[in-house]
Chain A
């Protein structure tokens, strides 16, 4: 086992080394490094599983002064997920022309920074890591220097920097109150502070976290940045699959600390539902393949947020598992869409037809991923959906999850229209490395479903079990859902006229900042109301 700090530093160091030193076989070194890195994370995970969480003080200062890193089950699993996905991405782009040294440096740094966000234990480090990763990502978005992507990258950068200034302001207030920035120490002493004093810093911090996790009024930066047509599809996959999860993870961490005194569960429950529903409606209005996937990320994030707000046992683990499932499935979808766009030279869903005949393997992997996201039986999504539903059993919340899931199925029925029909394009042969990585990703969706409960129990030491009768019942219900969604799509979807008008809705930069301020005002008023 290595020290936790190397999860942040070693990718950056390797990136710099590969950038400076002229080595012919730098791609092979890269892949070997990634596999070794994954192996290391596995041993750290085993250590945490056996001996419990690790807290590491760098420089051995007293508590609350130096930098501290913290890894529990969830953090280290997310780190493993990060390294796994990055390894797959590097295998995918192994022989592409844009895998030059600069790209490797930026992409490897991003990996280290994301690991850092998952492991950091003090608020200022989280700020630094997110700020730097924002810069790295905005450069990655406009890596091909396309005219459109410059605007997307710039809005992304400025919006996120504004949000992170809010974060830092909140951190300042917390420092004024506690004299420390360590989340651990803050959660220890939070009960000794007047809750009213925490309203303002909490609202500042949660506004930034809300923007990072792209919830209701604050998601309009996400689709443009994730789905800009000129960004490499691997970058889109990492952004939309993995990077947004840092926001959700921070949400869990911050609310774990502040939840003792400020309970905003109800607020984010409502916001989560709104995010999911609006995400679905906008997804239905899109015709750009990448944008469909990006907006569907928004709706899935809403669902995840919705299900972690009430920490009953089952739905909490269900949503954590959903974070992992969605990361894998969405990365797979983005990679496959990248191949389709390359083959068809267009992003318009109406012009792409007959994918199944031309790209059989890609289509099968897409279907695996879609069934995974929508929660079909034997796939990973079904396990997370099962536990989320179980947690909300017998209440109105269960019904809401079912409706959101129906909407998700509807969006993917729209997406799967690309399989049918016939087209004139030539058959595309996939390279060996792409085939391998696609098959690995697709199989992960399947294995994560068949052994879902076992995986979940093993990873998080949870003691969950599936009731087979209700699992079978939910599986049958899934097929009924598909039928309903199909008929809705076939008969009523085209008749709703306002959907096509939604397509062109896009907030400008000024409006995004305005919505940040409005959200901040709302959450401030609400927390002021609920703080005891």
Chain B
């Protein structure tokens, strides 16, 4: 048995689910705001990988050239959807980081629970 065969379970789907769980772990367990934003980024990448690999077939050909041999055409829809998701992801990350900068200027901390505490004092 070759090494490559043993790694067959490492399909895109499995990897993306693992990445998604890593992202969730980061969101639950890390109190650093920056790490929360990074975890969101990881979840976004997991989603993109997931969409690209769900209907993947290694024998298919790209959807640009018609009728290349007898192979089936790869599904173009997930790819187009993912371009939109990437754009949205960039926008979300940018807005979140901008907000974080303003938050850091006014509270002087990167920790969720410290922000909550300081916020309580102000009220």
Contacts and interface: CB of A to CB of B under 8 A. Distances in A.
Size class of the contact patch on chain B: 35 or more
Interface in B13-49: 20, 23-24, 27-31, 33, 36-37, 40, 43-44, 47
A504 B40 CA distance: 28
Interface in A401-429: none
Contacts of B33: 154
Interface stretch (A140-148, A362-370, A480-488): A140-148
Interface stretch (A10-18, A109-117, A124-132, A304-312): A124-132
Contacts of A504: 120
B96 interface: yes
B112 A510 contact: yes
B115 to A, nearest CB: 6
Size class of the contact patch on chain A: 35 or more
A145 B27 contact: no
Nearest to A160: B92
B40 A161 contact: yes
B99 A128 contact: no
A138 B23 CA distance: 22
A151 B54 contact: no
Contacts, number: 97
Contacts of A131: 88, 92
Nearest to B24: A517
Interface in B57-105: 75, 77-78, 81, 84-85, 88, 91-92, 95-96, 99-100, 102-103
Nearest to B17: A169
A176 B116 contact: no
A124 B81 contact: yes
A151 B96 contact: no
Contact of A162 (B27, B54, B106, B122): B27
Contacts of A1: none
B106 A147 contact: yes
Contact of A154 (B28, B50, B51, B100): B100
Nearest to B91: A135
Given A135-B91, A161-B92, A150 B40 contact: no
A179 B96 CA distance: 33
Nearest to B26: A513
A416 B119 CA distance: 29
Contacts of B102: 145, 150
A168 B28 contact: no
Contacts of A158: 36-37, 40, 96
Majority secondary structure of chain A interface residues (helix, strand, loop or mixed): helix
A510 B55 contact: no
B101 to A, nearest CB: 10
B20 A169 contact: yes
Nearest to B99: A154
Instruction: Report which residue of A131, A158, A504 has the largest number of chain B beta carbons within 10 angstroms of its beta carbon.
Output: A158
B29 A139 contact: no
Given A168-B85, A175-B54, A509-B112, A150 B43 contact: no
Given A147-B106, A147-B122, A65 B51 contact: no
A157 B119 contact: no
A514 interface: yes
B55 A176 contact: yes
Given A158-B36, A162-B40, A517 B47 contact: no
A508 B112 contact: yes
Contacts of B37: 158
B28 A517 contact: yes
Given A168-B47, A510-B29, A150 B92 contact: no
A154 B99 CA distance: 7
Given A139-B95, A154-B99, A510-B27, A65 B77 contact: yes
B24 A150 contact: no
Contacts of A165: 20, 23, 40, 43-44, 47
Nearest to A520: B24
Contact of B27 (A142, A168, A506, A513): A513
A139 B122 CA distance: 22
B33 to A, nearest CB: 8
Given A147-B106, A514-B28, A169 B47 contact: yes
Interface string A168-206: 110011011001000000000000000000000000000
B51 A175 contact: yes
A153 interface: yes
A285 to B, nearest CB: 15
A138 B99 contact: yes
A65 B47 CA distance: 21
Contacts of B29: 510
25 contacts: A124-B84, A128-B84, A131-B88, A135-B95, A138-B95, A150-B102, A150-B103, A151-B119, A154-B96, A154-B100, A157-B92, A157-B96, A161-B40, A161-B92, A162-B40, A169-B20, A172-B78, A175-B51, A175-B54, A510-B27, A510-B28, A510-B30, A510-B31, A510-B112, A513-B27
Given A150-B102, A168-B85, A517-B24, 15 more contacts: A131-B88, A135-B91, A138-B99, A148-B122, A151-B103, A151-B119, A154-B33, A154-B103, A162-B43, A169-B47, A172-B78, A175-B51, A506-B116, A513-B27, A514-B28
In order of increasing CB-CB distance, the 10 nearest A-B pairs are A176-B54, A513-B27, A154-B99, A147-B106, A165-B43, A509-B112, A514-B28, A172-B50, A150-B103, A131-B88
